Amino acid sequence: MLNCHKVTDLGSDLLEGRARWAERAAVRLHLMLCDGCRRYLRQLRLTIATIRRVRPRQPHVNTDQVLEAIDRSDKR
């Protein structure tokens, strides 16, 4: 069975679907017995969801235009 340290190490992989089947099963078993890890994963899930909502969308940057602008400013 996993210990709390291993469960917290696997937290992001687990919540983002990158954990292997055996790891997911072991975490579920651990969570049946550990209220602290259940709270931790619940908080991590909320944190990930919040970051996804509030993260500003980056506009597409045309690197050629940026480099041209730098070249123009250097020539002034």
Domain boundaries, the chain: 4-56
Enter the tokens of residue 10.
């696997």
How many helices and strands in the chain, by DSSP H and E? 4, 0
Of the candidates 12, 2, 70, the residue with the CA atom closest to the CA atom of residue 41: 12
Does residue 67 register a pLDDT over 80? no
Percentage of the chain modeled with pLDDT above 90: 58
Does residue 58 register a pLDDT over 70? no
pLDDT of residue 65: 79
Cα separation, 51 vs 8, in Å, equals 19
The DSSP output letter for 17 is T
Does residue 64 register a pLDDT over 90? no
pLDDT tens track for 19-49: 999 999 999 999 999 999 999 999 999 998 8
